[in-house]
């Protein structure tokens, strides 16, 4: 059960967050954006999470190619 409503940690976004991700990873992917972190986690809205997931998926595909 969600305790409280979180908002996206990307500066200027302000959308409701759907997921939280590790700050270090988010910094790698959302470069040039100012991020608000909560205990080394960044909350992301649907739109920013999609961007994040697309980038991490690319990593995973590269790993698979390396097999």
Structure tokens at 1: 């059960």
Pick the piece of the chain touching Zn ion (CB under 5 A) from 21-29, 32-40, 46-54, 57-65: 46-54
Length of the chain in residues, anyone?
A: 67
Alpha carbon separation from 15 to 33, 46, 48, 54, 65 (Å, rounded)? 15, 8, 10, 19, 35
Closest CB to Zn ion among residues 26, 45: 45
Q: Which of residues 48-67 bind Zn ion (CB under 5 A)?
A: 48
Query: Out of 7, 13, 35, 37, which residue is the one contacting Zn ion (CB under 5 A)?
Result: 13
Task: By CB under 5 A, tell whether 26 contacts Zn ion.
Answer: no
């Amino acid at each position: 059960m969600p305790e409280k409503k979180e908002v996206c940690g990307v500066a200027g976004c302000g959308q409701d967050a759907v997921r939280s991700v590790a700050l270090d990873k988010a910094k790698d992917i959302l470069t040039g954006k100012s991020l608000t972190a909560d205990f080394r986690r960044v909350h992301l809205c649907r739109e920013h999470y999609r961007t994040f997931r697309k980038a991490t998926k690319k990593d995973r595909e590269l790993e698979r190619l390396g097999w």
